[in-house]
Amino acid sequence: MILHNRLGREQLIVRINSETFKRKTVSFYRYIRISDPQLFRDELYMALESLGCYGRIYVAHEGINAQMSIPEHHVDEFLNLLDSRSELKNMPLKWAVEDDRKSFLKLKIKVRRKIVADGLEDEVFDGTDVGTHLSPVEFHELSASDDVIVVDMRNNYESEVGYFKNAIRPDVFTFRDEVEMVVAQLQDQKDKKILLYCTGGVRCEKASAWMRHHGFSDVNQLHGGVIAYAQTIKQLALESGFIGKNFVFDERLGERITSDIVSKCHTCGAPCDNHINCTWNACHKLFIQCDSCQSAMNGCCSENCQHELSMYPENNFPAKKMAMASACSV
């Protein structure tokens, strides 16, 4: 059996557009010892492939990190599959808030050294000494207080389109830079109550442990991340403390949480929060562009890329997803 996808992107798009059923997008992670990641990966691939699941999953000795698209009629079988493995049993799942059923086009499972590319040396701190997990309601109530510090543990391209209104949002592109900047910025406030949040919770596990290692005494984290928060707030009909879009690492590139548009088109400056990749694949830059500019610029991020695309369309080979997406950070 072939344990990887062999179809090109155009074929994958045709395949998903021909589907007559609905899909549900879900994410999950768990830090747990996996003795043989490659065997675990191959067995998981065969099982998920048989259910028609798509997604991007990273497996390492330290655990699993997954974002997936599940055929709606196979959800129960998918849940039974998770519970059939001791490493995945009773897995906390975060279902998408906004779903167009095309979040993923194929199934990709990779064995990695870590389930999140955090850039941290695990040997120098205790990664299990994490902060206090707060439920979405607990986080909602505490984050409204004046005597807490709320910190966005996502990268700048994520927080640009949505964030908690009173959060510190480090202007960095990598998680490693972010944890170091946060520790340095809050050095004089180690006794304050710190509230961390990220997309699905996995980055806060490492971030909270890193902060505790550096002497912060009251570190807390949003359990389940923005995804779980948005679901709970919607169910309880509460006013969301998170405004705008929640950036996600799949084909959708974002889930709308509130109607607020908090960012601008990088081309013209008009209110906009739609991320796209530059059409000129040699660039493939992730940026924000409104519909009008997409039309005028052919989806390119600059006049130079637009010129290259018009001059050498035959050289516009499909590009790999940009490096930030490969981190699959939730």
- Tokens standing for 234? 């919607």
- Tokens standing for 30? 């768990």
Contacts of 129 (CB under 8 A, 6+ apart): 209, 212, 213
Beta bridge partners of 64: 30, 59
SS3 labels along 202-245? HHHHHHHHHHHHCCCCEEEEECCHHHHHHHHHHHCCCCCCEEEE
The residue ranges of DSSP E strands in the chain, in sequence order, are: 23-31, 54-60, 63-71, 94-95, 107-111, 132-134, 148-152, 162-164, 193-197, 218-222, 242-246, 255-256, 275-277, 286-288
Is there a catalytic annotation at residue 301?
no
Cβ atoms within 10 Å of 313's Cβ, excluding its own: 9
Residue 249 carries which DSSP code? S
Which residue in 107, 128, 119 sits closest to 33, CA to CA?
128
- Tokens standing for 138? 């607990």
- Tokens standing for 52? 């028609």
- Please pick, among 53, 198, 204, 300, the residue that the annotation labels catalytic: 198
Sign of the torsion formed by the C-alpha atoms of 21, 25, 28 and 34: positive
Active site residues: 198
